Amino acid sequence: MSYATRGVLLGVLAMTVVVVASNILVQHPIQLELTVFGIPADHLWTWGALSYPVAFLVTDLCNRSMGPAKARRVVYAGFAVAVLLSAAFAGWRIALASGTAFLLAQLLDVLIFDRLRRMRWWQAPLISSGLASTLDTLVFFSLAFAGTAVPWPTLALGDYAVKLAVAVIMLVPFRALMSFLPRAELAPSR
């Protein structure tokens, strides 16, 4: 089996695990006994905000090592498998909201990362993950929880803040794993 095939399969597996776990965890607010700016902390973020940014790490590593075409394959295959499994474990509304947000945000991440790949090692993953997290959060929370009793605007803001913090933290494993992976030297795709 070629490196590229193994890389795509490993990326799809990692993506599926991260997305399904995140879709289960997003339904559970983090329970803390504190108030931030007068808002109970259990309405500020969910456990899914801690796990989902790993999906951007997977996409960025695939993009860095195999290029944008293979990274998009990982996104498409991960999308299909994760939506089906999420429907079984988290319900159809969460699965559809997640699938829509995931596909849009991950493809944006691939595009931005590819355009910035020649910048300093940390800039492409940080900028692409940050911008894609914005789109993901807006699409997911509005589709998953609009019209329900869930305080989704507050959860979305809290989750977004956590996703940005985790994106910064994910630079450490990104840099560490970069040394084990070949680097795709490609001209930015158009």
- Read off the pLDDT of residues 4-14 as tens digits, 9 standing for 90 and up: 889 999 999 99
The DSSP bridge partners found for residue 94 are none
User: Which tokens in the block code for residue 62?
Assistant: 């695939």
| DSSP-derived secondary structure for the chain | --HHHHHHHHHHHHHHHHHHHHHHHTTSB---S-EETTEEGGGT-BTHHHHTHHHHHHHHHHHHHH-HHHHHHHHHHHHHHHHHHHHHHH-HHHHHHHHHHHHHHHHHHHHHHHHHTTS-TTHHHHHHHHHHHHHHHHHHHHHHHTTSSS-HHHHHHHHHHHHHHHHHHTHHHHHHHHTTS-----PPP-
pLDDT above 60 for 41: no
Per-residue pLDDT at 94? 92
Per-residue pLDDT at 77? 95
Predicted confidence band at 37 (pLDDT cuts at 50, 70, 90)?
low
Domains, the chain, ranges and CATH? 3-28+37-178 (1.10.1760)
- Read off the pLDDT of residues 58-102 as tens digits, 9 standing for 90 and up: 999 999 999 999 999 999 999 999 999 999 999 999 999 999 999
pTM over 0.85, yes/no: yes
Mean pLDDT, the chain, rounded, equals 89
